[in-house]
Amino acid sequence: MSALQCLTFLFLCLLLLQNTTSASPLRLARRWPSHSNFAKHPRRVVFPVNRSSCDLFAGEWVRDETYPLYRSIECGGGMIDPGFDCQTYGRPDSDYLKFRWQPFNCDVPRFNGVKFLQEMRNKTIMFVGDSLGRNQWESLMCMISSSAPDIHTHIIHEDPLSTFKILDYNVKVSFYRAPYLVDIDKIRGKTTLKLDEISVDASNIWRTADVLLFNTGHWWSHTGSLRGWEQMETGGKYYGDMDSPNEWTSRSKASTITQGAKSCYGQTTPYSGTTYPTSSYVSQKKVIDEVVKEMKSHVSLMDISMLSALRIDGHPSIYSGDLNPSLKRNPDRSSDCSHWCLPGLPDTWNQLFYAALLF
């Protein structure tokens, strides 16, 4: 993995969904029906991001000896991919596990798996996105399993949809693999990202969820043979790259913020400070805020970019699965500086999700 790591903005969409099927692709501007499985829960869930009393995403990392929230050994049954299981695959240090995110003017409630399951009884939570979404999905499975150890569970691993079932509460926590979120198809012989649409298959599955969490980012910035598309289509026009039209460039590139090209290998502590290490962050964040405001569905932004950028110590580096010795001897070339160790940073993302959803 390149040391130039991609940090995704994570979106939480609390949509009022109706379990129906569709014969056509889902248009992104569509307004959803107003009836939902949340009818018995009149609470209107709103992130406290813009409240003067609490900004969950403005804070600092503090050392906390009660962390981590779980140990990887508590995540049996194939919950953690080898690529995220850093301690099992030889990472020698453990101080990176001892940091907790502390907002400046409020506290994040500690995750309680029983409370979460009680509140989510008979509901489906679905992560949609790329491997960082999978990173967070696996984190939540571990947090639930360790915090509510007597539950009966079942995991189904498939592509694109994998599901963790908590049988005692009839709760499903799923991951749907969709790196670009939007539809991708062959048009005029070229692999095309259809920026205005979501595929029929994806939209039909997403409609079955009560809570949807979307993330996307680093697949958009791939170049050369790693790039998974040849052209983009929006409004009936085709574009060969992300340099035009200017409006799309500003919106799409803003979803991926890159940190300075410093290798994560050997990093054992977070960056100090409380501001984003990349100067372009503020202007790009404004673009995303504008796009979110235009959305007709209830969409809230979990701006995890700054707090994640400070955690250069949290990546798998060369402890990403069972790498062969020759790769381990060349960390500048083989280190994974895109994903995150578990336990680790994605646990904080889920604590913030838990706080925003239930408190």
- pLDDT for residue 275: 63
- pLDDT for residue 52: 52
d(CA 216, CA 287): 16
pLDDT tens profile 282-338 = 777 788 888 888 888 778 888 898 899 999 999 999 999 989 999 999 999 999 999
Between the ranges 40-54, 133-147, 225-239, 247-261, where is the mean pLDDT highest?
Answer: 133-147
3-state secondary structure the chain: CCCCCEEECEEEECCCCCCCCCCCCEECCCCCCCCCHHHHCCCCCCCHHHECCECCCCEEEEECCCCCCCCHHHCCCCCCCHHHCCCCCCCCCCHHHHEEEEECCCCCCCCCHHHHHHHCCCCEEEEEECHHHHHHHHHHHHHHHHHCCCCCEEEECCCCEEEEEECCCCEEEEEEECCCCCEEEEECCEEEEECCEECHHHHHHHCCCCEEEEECCCCCCCCHHHCCCCEEEECCEEECCCCCCHHHHHHHHCCEEECCCCCCCCCCCCCCCCCCCCCCHHHHHHHHHHHHHHCCCCEEEECCHHHHHCCHHHCCECCCCCCCHHHHCCHHHHCECCCCCCCCHHHHHHHHHHHHHHC
Report whether pLDDT(98) > 80.
yes
- pLDDT for residue 344: 98
Report whether pLDDT(24) > 50.
no
- pLDDT for residue 230: 92
Res. 250 pLDDT band, cuts 50 70 90: very low
Report whether pLDDT(38) > 60.
no
- pLDDT for residue 294: 86
Domain residue spans in the chain? 6-186+195-228+250-358
- pLDDT for residue 148: 93
| Section 134-155 average pLDDT | 96
- pLDDT for residue 185: 94
Lowest-pLDDT range of 76-85, 110-119, 137-146: 76-85
- pLDDT for residue 267: 96
More confident position, 249 or 161: 161
Res. 33 pLDDT band, cuts 50 70 90: very low
d(CA 58, CA 101): 9
Report whether pLDDT(13) > 70.
no
Q: To the nearest whole percent, how much of the chain has pLDDT over 70? A: 77
Lowest-pLDDT range of 14-18, 95-99, 273-277, 350-354: 14-18
Lowest-pLDDT range of 3-17, 96-110, 132-146: 3-17
Return all residues near 128 (Cβ < 8 A) that are at least 6 apart.
Answer: 175, 176, 178, 181, 202, 206, 212, 213, 214, 215
- pLDDT for residue 223: 82
Q: For residues 187-217, b (16+ Cβ closer than 10 Å) or e, as one string? A: eeeeebbbbebbbeebbbbbbebbbbbbbbb
Q: Among all chains, which residue has been given the structure tokens 């592509």?
A: 159
- pLDDT for residue 249: 39
- pLDDT for residue 37: 34
- pLDDT for residue 288: 82
Beta bridge partners of 6: 258
| Section 81-87 average pLDDT | 96
- Average per-residue pLDDT for the chain: 81
Report whether pLDDT(136) > 60.
yes
pLDDT tens profile 157-214 = 999 999 999 999 999 999 999 999 999 999 989 999 999 999 999 999 999 999 999 9
